[in-house]
Homo-oligomer: A and B are copies of this chain.
Amino acid sequence: MERMMEKEITIYDLAKILALSPATVSRALNDHPAINVKTKALIAEKAAELGYRSNTFASHLRTRKTNTLGVIVPRLNSNFMSTVLAGMEEVANNFGYNLLISQSLESELKERANAKTMFDSRVDGLLVSVAYDTDSIDHFVTFINRNIPVLFFDRIMDHPRCGAVIIDNEQAGYDATRHLLDQGCRRIIHVTGDLRRNVYADRMNGFKRALAGQNLPQDNRFIISTDLSQEAGRQIAAQIDQMAEKPDGLFIANDLCAAICMQVLKEKGYAIPDDIAIVGFNNDPVSQVVSPQLTTVFYPGYQMGKTAMTTMIGQLNGTKLIDHSEPIILRSELIIRRSSIRFENL
């Protein structure tokens, strides 16, 4: 069967038809100021009529710019991350950038592979939220050495030539813990993730500061580092059930993990929040669906995506260079729901 294969129109075709030079056509299409407005209109019209589309590869080859930005995230499938990406996409779109998105699946190995792909694709810039177990920063230094800006968001790495966009995790951790303390909790367990990641280390520090503020003892057995998975939620519940002296408060750095943990505790007969008050993190949809509804920390994902992307593009345009000396910090907010409001405070 014969296939219809429309011929690809080039600026040469346009130039010939309009009796102009390819250079003029190129300039007109790129809205160059030196070109006569009428000429531009003429060219634009003809281009549209013939279905001309710029060959980005030829353009990239010449300009050494790809108009593509790489984004590496641990996973796509969290409400938070996909909200961030939606924010990034909106801004990138407005500025005519494409996004090359990939997930590290929480593995440094995969992250390195992703970074290599991005590098070979010659992205103009890279936005990264690092994997659970990332130790080395080598695979990003490759970019930095070539002057390709790298911007971390949420889970950041410390590097003198990389920007960062985060929330104040320490303060959020403090607020969450402080809230539990205000509800009368005195034996609070903090369940967190890998402490190499700033988000978890900072929340833990906030947790500790809140306890210290009340002159409460700091018991390291009350800080449990897990992978924050659903399974971890189950294990924590089982572990608590085994403890001689039970906790009366639980601050878990992830909503889904907290929700599962709460569920198992309820099954084992614990009253939430009366026996154990619980605070999660992220304001994931699950936090509204469990009963009692879960107190959590709202994370401005969309805002974070937009801010990160705006920052990156500002850097690329030279409009506004990234301040490497300190991160951009967005506001988060404690959302208080039933899982942490003790009876006596109603």
Contact = CB atoms under 8 A, between A and B. Distances in A.
Contact of A103 (B60, B86, B119): B86
A117 interface: yes
Interface string A259-275: 11001001000000000
How extensive is the interface on chain A, given as a class?
Answer: 35 or more
B263 A285 contact: no
A122 B145 CA distance: 30
Contacts of A6: 145-146
Interface in A82-126: 82-83, 85-86, 89, 93, 98-103, 105, 113, 117, 119-122
A333 to B, nearest CB: 19
A151 to B, nearest CB: 17
Contacts of A82: 75-78, 82, 103
B260 A288 contact: yes
Contacts of A57: 57-58, 60-61, 66, 122
A221 interface: no
A290 interface: yes
A127 to B, nearest CB: 14
B3 A289 contact: no
A58 B260 CA distance: 52
A81 B79 CA distance: 11
Interface of A: 3-6, 53-58, 60-61, 66, 75-79, 81-83, 85-86, 89, 93, 98-103, 105, 113, 117, 119-122, 145-147, 230, 256, 259-260, 263, 266, 285-286, 288-291
